[in-house]
Structure 1
Amino acid sequence: MTKKRILQIDKVNTHIVEWLKSYAEKSKVNGFVIGISGGVDSAVTSALCAQTGLKVLCVEMPIHQAHSHVTRGREHIEQLKKQFSNVSSIEADLTSVFEDFKKQVPETSDEHKLHLSLANTRSRLRMTTLYYFAGIYGLLVAGTGNKVEDFGVGFFTKYGDGGVDLSPIADLMKSEVYELGIYLKIPNSILMAAPTDGLFGDERTDEDQIGASYDELEWAMLLTDSEITTNVFTEREKEVLKIYKKLNQNNQHKMNPIPVCTINC
């Protein structure tokens, strides 16, 4: 199998921080706004943005949020504000907005489609909120997606958490985000928590939804075509490969540019 790369985390940290600062300065903006979820991706992203010295606004956007997610996010924000004077935070409780939205749209008897559509609605309400603050304060919306989510299985909401101005950690595997999180001294409560998108108002994890762990998905993502055709896999490896291939194929519409109908006639 293709070997995982070995990163010099301190150099990766410096590279991303310099990239963020350069992009912001060229864009003539004041800094960054990030949605804080209580997960490792948003914690690492906000810590990277904070190191630029530019304005960083951390936004909490609870919608019937699990208490554990809220407390983890606040622990990280408080730690970040103590360390960096350029970091501030604000809470925009979107629960009532979400409930009002549900009253204005028709229900459906298909429970699966209903729950999935409402989960994606939560994400899109948060994206709208982040761009509100971005417009008010002259900031860029920093994405928090990692490489597995953004380019492997497409585990994000189109025009939700996928609606961003730039993606600082999208070339990092989930395991590499954790490496960077340890280097940045992200709170253990976040580093030890099971990854979750928090869009369903319960404690279901990303693994519960996807059917495979991030370590398993990284394994599948790193396999070469020749390895797939020649290797002998265990039953679990076959199942993980099937999950990865299905999600990668079904979510290409998220990962590829919007198709444009070109007029040649």
Structure 2
Amino acid sequence: MQTQKVINHIVQWLTDYAQKSGAKGYVVGVSGGVDSGVVSKLVAMTGLKTLLIEMPIRQKEDQVNRAKEHMKDLESKFENVQAMSVNLTPAFEELYKTFDVHDEEFPNEKLAFANTRSRLRMLTLYYYGQINGLLVCGTGNKVEDFGIGFYTKYGDGGVDVSPIADLYKTEVYELARALDLIESIQNAIPTDGLWDAERTDEDQIGATYPELEKIQKEWGTKSESDYKGRDLEVYKIFSRMSKAAQHKINPIPVCDIPEEYRN
């Protein structure tokens, strides 16, 4: 990949989009991971107002430290960057008490609360984006957004623009190196940070990003019978998750009313 050309292309695309939209710049949620690290620096390079927000919710200390270190690094290098931390743990705890289900009858409750964390962060980004005249910049990559749908609908999927959604995770890591991000971000193990117990993306998905990328690149040209061994296992994971995520990946279905019914 021609990393510098990709970097320049994304920075120009972000600049043009903000200017055409009449926005002052972008707000980015910074998690301490490589995706948000790359996106936040690309946004900073536009020269437009860039607001970086770290939003811990029962967060692991290493994730918080990486996010703060990265934001401090960008603030020191770009005059247009402002960073802040918004502790969402108290708000989440109130929601946790308010919903008040906590019953084994609902096996998906833990997942629902994990997604609630992501949606609470989305609310926060849009609040600060609106009062500052900024667009919310997404941090999802191609595998997450268009492969297996590994994101929260109306959570981290609730954004105005997605500058790296056409890049595979391995390509995002390439950009991280080319952008000379701090080492802790470049070496961060992918995790969504939505669970009390440490769960990496690989733990949750059952496959690595390079394994998933191989399947996604061949998707539509090969079928299950073309794979064996570990590739077959990953194919089945990808297929199952992709099918389950179509409600996220596809536009919201609209019930079209026949014209004759309007008369």
State whether structure 2 residue 146 is matched by structure 1 residue 151: yes
Over 3 Å counting, the alpha-carbon distance change for 1:229 and 1:246 in structure 2 is: closer
Over 3 Å counting, the alpha-carbon distance change for 1:53 and 1:214 in structure 2 is: same
Residue 186 of structure 2 is aligned with which of 191, 208, 223?
191
Percent identity among equivalent residues?
A: 53
State whether structure 2 residue 251 is matched by structure 1 residue 257: yes
Instruction: Give the drift of 1:244.
Output: 0.1
Instruction: Give the drift of 1:193.
Output: 1.9
Over 3 Å counting, the alpha-carbon distance change for 1:92 and 1:175 in structure 2 is: same
Q: Which residue of 2 aligns with 1:109?
A: 104
Q: Which moved more, 1:198-207 or 1:50-59?
A: 198-207
Instruction: Give the drift of 1:229.
Output: 6.0
State whether structure 2 residue 239 is matched by structure 1 residue 245: yes
Q: Which residue of 2 aligns with 1:41?
A: 35
Could you tell me which amino acid in structure 2 is paired with residue 34 of structure 1? Answer: V
Paired with 1:226 and 1:47, the residues of 2 have a C-alpha distance of 36
| 1:19-62 Cα shifts (integer Å, max 9, x gaps) | 00000001111100000000000000000000000000000110
Q: What 5-or-longer segments of structure 2 have no aligned partner? A: none
Residue 137 of structure 2 is aligned with which of 135, 138, 142?
142
Q: Which residue of 2 aligns with 1:61?
A: 55
Paired with 1:217 and 1:33, the residues of 2 have a C-alpha distance of 29
Instruction: Give the drift of 1:102.
Output: 1.0
> Is the 1:80–1:87 Cα contact (8 Å) retained in structure 2?
yes
Could you tell me which amino acid in structure 2 is paired with residue 141 of structure 1? Answer: V
Instruction: Give the drift of 1:224.
Output: 4.7
Could you tell me which amino acid in structure 2 is paired with residue 237 of structure 1? Answer: D
Could you tell me which amino acid in structure 1 is paired with residue 48 of structure 2? Answer: L
Q: Which residue of 2 aligns with 1:74?
A: 68
> Is the 1:63–1:201 Cα contact (8 Å) retained in structure 2?
no
Paired with 1:104 and 1:224, the residues of 2 have a C-alpha distance of 43
Could you tell me which amino acid in structure 2 is paired with residue 191 of structure 1? Answer: Q
Secondary structure at the counterpart of residue 227 of structure 1: coil
Paired with 1:73 and 1:226, the residues of 2 have a C-alpha distance of 39
| 1:44-84 Cα shifts (integer Å, max 9, x gaps) | 00000000000000001100100010011111111111111
State whether structure 2 residue 219 is matched by structure 1 residue 219: no
Over 3 Å counting, the alpha-carbon distance change for 1:215 and 1:111 in structure 2 is: farther
Paired with 1:194 and 1:22, the residues of 2 have a C-alpha distance of 32
Could you tell me which amino acid in structure 1 is paired with residue 121 of structure 2? Answer: R
Over 3 Å counting, the alpha-carbon distance change for 1:59 and 1:249 in structure 2 is: same
Which residues in structure 2 correspond to 1:77-92 (within 5 Å)?
Answer: 77-92=71-86
Instruction: Give the drift of 1:106.
Output: 3.0
Could you tell me which amino acid in structure 1 is paired with residue 42 of structure 2? Answer: L
Could you tell me which amino acid in structure 2 is paired with residue 24 of structure 1? Answer: A
Paired with 1:225 and 1:28, the residues of 2 have a C-alpha distance of 39
Over 3 Å counting, the alpha-carbon distance change for 1:245 and 1:54 in structure 2 is: same
> Is the 1:131–1:141 Cα contact (8 Å) retained in structure 2?
yes
> Is the 2:224–2:232 Cα contact (8 Å) retained in structure 1?
no
| 1:91-144 Cα shifts (integer Å, max 9, x gaps) | 110101000011111313146411100000000000000000011100000000
State whether structure 2 residue 197 is matched by structure 1 residue 168: no
Could you tell me which amino acid in structure 2 is paired with residue 57 of structure 1? Answer: L
> Is the 1:130–1:141 Cα contact (8 Å) retained in structure 2?
yes
Q: Which residue of 1 aligns with 2:22?
A: 28
Instruction: Give the drift of 1:230.
Output: 6.4
| 1:146-186 Cα shifts (integer Å, max 9, x gaps) | 00000000000000000000000000000000000100011
Over 3 Å counting, the alpha-carbon distance change for 1:210 and 1:224 in structure 2 is: closer
| 1:213-249 Cα shifts (integer Å, max 9, x gaps) | 1011001101154433663x33211110000000011
> Is the 1:123–1:157 Cα contact (8 Å) retained in structure 2?
yes
> Is the 2:119–2:154 Cα contact (8 Å) retained in structure 1?
yes
